[in-house]
């Protein structure tokens, strides 16, 4: 299965009503769902470029519609042992945080709180349907990558080590060494933790907006299903990437230059990884940035969804084109759909006997 790449065009904000709109969603044929993004050539306005995606969501798409169409169906797979990765890519101001985190009002909630709400609901249902024989535990990690350093957002900023947390490969996956994890019982629990950690992100920053658009934020939801001595673990990761704009064009301060070199580098490495994978290269330059090591595009087992956020404005023209170029190539990346293996608390046993007890355990063979 490939990486699923979808584009979402945000609506104009109130203050933008008099601005020039140049990006639109289109379908291959009238009446078909949108799968194309159209944008004029910067050199010749009469010429229009088309980019194809698995799906395109226009400005009228609600948070609920996006979640239902792109994420809800993967929750079952998550409980069947597949890892699910969702990441938002795009220029600063195009709606990445709106898509992933969203607003506080129910209707404005983004993908992350909706994902958690669904995970808790399904977990409770499984426990009920198995008369408590299967228990479902949910634990969160939340961290950011800033200047190619990993910082735990569940810890207060004063506990940060300046060099950040190291990465290590374990069972073919990249793990952050020393990252904390908090058990979460329900949505209220999650929201308390999430709001608190987002504050950690803010207080550690010199300038709120500048900081959050320059770091990658990664939320990891670990779901552990236990039936007797069998344990099945899977994770859903939701990633709000740093802005993909060309920072060299806009920044000049010294600190900003260090930052933008690091952001430009990790996003540049990401685009190189995407190119290398889509060309079928043997060597993929994952290891050249922490973000790409963690994202491990095309190396992860499971389901990966890339959401390209777009602002329809002319003022974003060149950066929009560059993000369209990168993301439309990402569609060609294959992701192996392999479940995480069930592990046993005490030594191995014949797997088939109890597998059925774990939801969907044997169903996907
Ligand atoms: P980014 O995280 O990519 O920098 P934001 O999510 O902060 O962008 O979005 C920029 C602005 O646009 C915010 O004010 C946000 O509320 C608004 N916005 C983004 N997407 C939408 C949307 N789909 N509907 C309404 N407002 C949106
Ligand atoms: Mg943001």
DSSP notation for 159-215:
G--TT---EEEETTEEEETT---EEE-SHHHHHHHHHHHHHHHHHT-SSHHHHHHHS
pLDDT at 255 over 80: no
CA 103 to ligand 1: nearest atom: 16
pLDDT at 254 over 80: no
How would residue 203 be classed by pLDDT, with cut points 50, 70 and 90? low
Q: Is residue 92 a known part of a binding site?
A: yes
Q: What is the mean pLDDT of residues 203-229?
A: 79
pTM, whole model, 2 decimals? 0.89
**Structure-model confidence comparison of residues 26 and 329, the more confident one:** 26
pLDDT, tens digit, 9 for 90 and up, residues 81-97: 999 999 999 999 999 99
Name the H helices within 18-102. 63-70, 74-79, 96-100
Q: Is residue 85 a known part of a binding site?
A: no
Distance 210 CA to ligand 1 centre (A): 15
pLDDT, tens digit, 9 for 90 and up, residues 135-161: 999 999 999 998 899 999 999 888 888
Instruction: Look at residue 352 in the predicted model and tell me its pLDDT.
Output: 39
Protein residue with its CA nearest to atom 10 in ligand 1: 93
**Structure-model confidence comparison of residues 336 and 303, the more confident one:** 303
**Structure-model confidence comparison of residues 256 and 355, the more confident one:** 256
Element (H, E) at 327: helix 317-330
Q: Is residue 298 a known part of a binding site?
A: no
Cα–Cα nearest to 294, from 143, 139, 89: 143
| 3-state secondary structure (DSSP) of residue 12 | coil
Protein residue with its CA nearest to atom 9 in ligand 1: 95
Q: What is the mean pLDDT of residues 258-284?
A: 82
């Amino acid at each position: 299965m490939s990486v699923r790449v979808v584009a979402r065009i945000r609506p104009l904000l109130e203050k933008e009503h008099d601005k020039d709109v140049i990006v639109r969603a289109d379908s291959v044929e009238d009446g078909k769902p949108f799968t194309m993004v159209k944008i004029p050539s910067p050199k010749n306005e009469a010429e229009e470029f088309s980019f194809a995606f698995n799906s395109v969501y226009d400005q009228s798409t609600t948070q609920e519609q996006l979640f239902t169409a792109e994420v809800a169906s993967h929750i079952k797979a998550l409980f069947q042992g597949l890892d699910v990765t969702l990441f938002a890519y795009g220029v600063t101001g195009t709606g990445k945080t709106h898509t992933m985190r969203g607003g506080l009002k129910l209707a404005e909630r983004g993908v992350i709180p909706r994902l958690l709400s669904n995970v808790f609901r399904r977990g409770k249902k499984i426990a009920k349907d198995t008369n408590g024989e299967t228990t479902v535990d949910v634990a969160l990690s939340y961290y950011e990558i800033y200047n190619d350093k990993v910082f735990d957002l569940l810890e207060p900023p004063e506990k940060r080590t300046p060099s950040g947390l190291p990465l290590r490969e374990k069972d073919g996956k990249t793990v952050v060494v020393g990252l904390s994890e908090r058990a979460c019982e329900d949505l209220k629990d999650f929201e308390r933790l999430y709001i608190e950690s987002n504050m950690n992100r803010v207080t550690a920053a010199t300038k709120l907006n500048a900081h959050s658009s320059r770091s990658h934020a990664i939320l990891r939801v670990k779901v552990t299903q236990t039936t007797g001595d069998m344990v099945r673990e899977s994770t859903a990761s939701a990633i709000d990437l740093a802005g993909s704009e060309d920072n060299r064009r806009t920044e000049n301060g010294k600190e900003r230059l260090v930052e933008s070199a690091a952001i430009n580098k990790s996003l540049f490495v990401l685009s190189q990884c995407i190119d290398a994978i889509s060309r079928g290269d043997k060597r993929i330059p994952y290891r050249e940035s922490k973000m790409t090591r963690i994202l491990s595009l095309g190396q992860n087992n499971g389901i990966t969804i890339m959401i390209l956020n777009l602002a329809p404005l002319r003022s974003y023209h060149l950066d929009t084109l560059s993000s369209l170029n990168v993301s439309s190539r990402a569609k060609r990346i294959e992701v192996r759909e392999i479940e995480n293996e069930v592990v046993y608390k005490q030594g191995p046993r014949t797997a088939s006997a109890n597998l059925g007890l774990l939801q969907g355990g044997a169903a996907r063979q």
